[in-house]
Amino acid sequence: MNEPLTLALPKGRLFEQVREHFGQHGFVFSLEDRKLTAVDQTGTLKIIAVKNADLPTYVRHGIAGLGVCGDDVLYEAGVEFTHLLPFDFGSTRMALAGLKDQPVRETAGSLTIATKFTRFTRDWFHALGTSVKIIRLDGSVELAPVLGLAPYIVDLVETGSTLKANGLEVREWLKSIGVSLFANPAYFKLRYQEITRFVDRLKEPAGS
């Protein structure tokens, strides 16, 4: 029997959603005792749990042949992978947000935006012909308008509760962000049949 397929999953809230979804399709696994690797009960998958933003690096270097993460993370990584399957869970939206009910005075027609999605933000606004000054943050970006670092943020919005709790509102919805399964292109060629079988199982109705 072949070695299990290696699959990188992001730690955090998406991990549980993927675990549940894969379990419904016969690939049951769990991480025990703070371990960051696991093999599913069928021996098909070796799971590697990594930090969201590091996930494309692991797949690009072939440490994991397969990965699951959001389009946002893939876009920031700027690497081409083989897309295998979009999922219907974990979707969010990228939004431009600012302080609620407060008009923002911009200098010389340029938007100042704090975000961790710097590549997306630059490309999005440049495509519109809008000049932007981007301030890079790694998290808790909602603080930026509140503390006066930048009048706007570009961030993922799921329920909207983080924005609301910090007195912010969406100024513009920018893009839907989905979650998908993808592969390192060389790994996909090498393990084509097993990967195809795995993807076909995931496409079957849950529990069948």
Total residues binding ligand PRP (CB under 6 A): 10
136 to 165, contacts with ligand PRP by CB under 6 A? 139-140, 155-162
Interface mask (CB under 6 A) for ligand PRP, residues 162-191, using x and -?
Answer: x-----------------------------
As given in the structure block, the two tokens for residue 41 are 């009960």
Report, in Å, the least distance between residue 146 CB and ligand PRP.
Answer: 13
**Which one, 26 or 178, has the nearer CB to ligand PRP?**
178
**What is the length of the chain?**
208
**Which one, 113 or 157, has the nearer CB to ligand PRP?**
157
**Which one, 20 or 158, has the nearer CB to ligand PRP?**
158
**Which one, 146 or 206, has the nearer CB to ligand PRP?**
146
DSSP 184: -
Q: Is 16 exposed, middle or buried (0-12, 13-18, 19+ CB in 10 A)?
A: exposed
Report, in Å, the least distance between residue 166 CB and ligand PRP.
Answer: 9
For residue 5, give the amino acid letter.
Answer: L
Q: CA neighbours within 13 Å on the CB side: how many for 177?
A: 21
Measured from each CB, the residue nearest to ligand PRP is 139
DSSP 54: G
Residues 103-130, buried b or exposed e (16+ Cβ, 10 A)? eeeeeeeebbbbbbbbebbeebbeeeee
Report, in Å, the least distance between residue 173 CB and ligand PRP.
Answer: 12
Q: State the residues that interact with ligand PRP by CB under 6 A.
A: 139-140, 155-162
